[in-house]
Amino acid sequence: MRVLVPGGAGYIGSFTVRELQRAGHEVVVFDNLVFGHRDAVDAELVIGDLADTAGLDSVFERGKFDAVVHFAAFIEAGLSMEDAGRFFENNTGNSIRLLNAMVRHGVNMLVFSSSAAVYGDPVRIPVRETDDTNPVNVYGETKLLIERMLPWYERVHGIRSVALRYFNATGAALDGSIGQDHQPATHLITVAIMAILGLREKFVLFGDDYPTPDGTCIRDYIHVIDLAEAHLAALSRLQGGCPSETFNVGTGSGHSNWEVINAVKRTTGVDLPVEIGPRRPGDPAELVADASKLRKTLDWEPRCSDLDTIVGSAWKWHCTHEHGYEA
């Protein structure tokens, strides 16, 4: 298939582009490179913004696309609470522009990059797709609004979709060739490694008084390679004519912040000093996926999401790319 990938030069997008290419798909990446990187992809790259309707139409007019895999979005939940309009305009507004372009150009399959942030404070652990969705930040609401639009675009325009609700994406290519390079860095493992490499003044752990066994937040860490393979499986499902669906993408197992920090120390051999800071607003104590639906429906299993593989791959990437793709 010929696949358009908005946001394909970003972290998760670039890994998914690799998997799509390995599966024999023809990929065109559409990215404004605000957070994406030219060197992250070895595919046709069109530099552009979803806010530019004419530019978006010109990409669709270059040749018939069979599907879209949509990653383009702002992702910083904390920043979303400082500038709501910017996030709604970029994430939700630009997704509407993309969907309308798909309608105009007759593309009727979409894999959408959603988030576990749609759940807010979970009512139970592990979280199921049928649980209540009550975002506690603007970022989560932008993703949920898009999810709510998708059934209407199917009903009115025939666009079938799979929405993938990611939990904590992390890790890097096992050979260290590509990885996470997002500024500002906010992910726990990335921030810890940057502190060890002297790229951050200190490492702050936000909260050690949560109602968890060691007092720190528990999260479900999914290796970005496994996440990319879930996108490929979702696209294959649509290609096979299956109906629209929503899936959690996680491992079903959680690790506390202290467990992750200790894994970083173990992998690097460095006893990272940890400063305890206050809780961050909106951080639930525990967030772990029930990914049984994804496993059963798409015959998907995580291959690289054990904590040592995750941390080891991230360490290899950052050691050889201290300044990301500029190194």
Q: Please give the positions annotated as active site.
A: 139
Show the tokens assigned to 95: 């997704």
Distant-in-sequence, close-in-space partners of 253: CB < 8 Å, separation ≥ 6? 220, 288
β partners of residue 120: 134
DSSP-assigned beta bridge partners for residue 4:
28, 68
β-pairing verdict for 255-256 and 218-219: antiparallel
77 near 283, Cβ under 8 Å?
A: no
- CB contact at 8 A, 105 and 68: no
Give the three-class secondary structure for 167.
coil
Q: List b or e across 197-207, with b for residues whose CB sees 16 or more CB atoms inside 10 angstroms.
A: eeeeeebebbb
What is the C-alpha to C-alpha distance for residues 17 and 23, in angstroms, rounded to an integer?
10
Q: How far apart are CA 128 and CA 211, in angstroms?
A: 21
Cα–Cα distance measured from residue 288 to residue 44, given in angstroms and rounded to the nearest whole number: 36
Distance between CA atoms of 25 and 133, rounded to whole angstroms? 34
Q: Do the beta carbons of residue 154 and residue 206 sit within 8 Å? A: no
* DSSP for 25-94, written as a single string: -EEEEEE--SS--GGG--SEEEE--TT-HHHHHHHHTTS--SEEEE------HHHHTT-HHHHIIIIIIH
